Structure 1
Amino acid sequence: MAILFSSPGLAPMAGLLALLMWRLAAAYSPVAAECARMVSVLNGPVVAHLLECLEGREYLRTFGQQGKAVSHALWVLEASARAQILNMGLQRWFALQLELIGGAMLLCVSVMIVLQTDAHLGMSGLSLTYALTLTALATALV
């Protein structure tokens, strides 16, 4: 609100950036939920296999199945790691997109403040501060 009060000419650009941020969040939320579900689903077999190997270690040694158990454990760990890497990559991508939108908003605010000849300095500083914290707020809201 302080941004629009100090620079009323920013209303169309602020609306456009808010719409862009809303669309980005709407596209990100279902994908992030599915990715988090995949991570939790693939973590279950890792724990289950570990517990089975610990409980049945005598049988594994007796029947010579240590190699098979180790290869299965590595396969399950690799699948879980892939899901976690995908989840972290998705989070980094979304954070970068929000940073770019926040940077565009900060650029628009600063250009409008510089171009205004009758800008109030206190309100201009407040609007710049709000533009800087816009990215953190958007991340927390999503």
Structure 2
Amino acid sequence: MTVLRHDGPAFSVDETEVVRHAARLATRHLGHARLLAATEDTALHLQRALVAEPGQPHPNLEIAGAYLPAGPRTLVGGDWFETVRLHFGRSLLVVGDVMGHGLDAAVDMNAYRTALREVAATDLPPHRVLR
């Protein structure tokens, strides 16, 4: 931060302290903004990677999906979908939404998808799997 006075007396001690305080605040806020941007970027990459890889359904079922955020500044949420191959030619298709936004929601989404895969592999009826 550079502060100049074209004409007039030198800065007073009080003025110098105000400028130093403003510089400290600006530095702190810039650090927080960088951390937030990095967290949002990590969450977005994590969610796109997870949503882009649904489970393998049966050969007679073809799945396509895409994740499109509402806008460039929208925080990533916990939206997800999953397909789980079941016995006897059946497939379980699930769409879910974890409340919240950011990295925590993306991590929770992955935990729910993993739990769903594990429970569905036990070949319980669908209503019991979702419970």
Q: Quickly name the TM-score band, shorter chain normalised.
A: 0.3 to 0.5
Structure 1 or 2: larger helix share? 1
Q: Please, what TM-score do these two structures have when normalized by structure 1?
A: 0.38
Larger strand fraction of residues: 2
TM-score, normalised with respect to structure 2: 0.40
Structure with more relative contact order (C-alpha pairs < 8 Å, separation 6 or more):
1
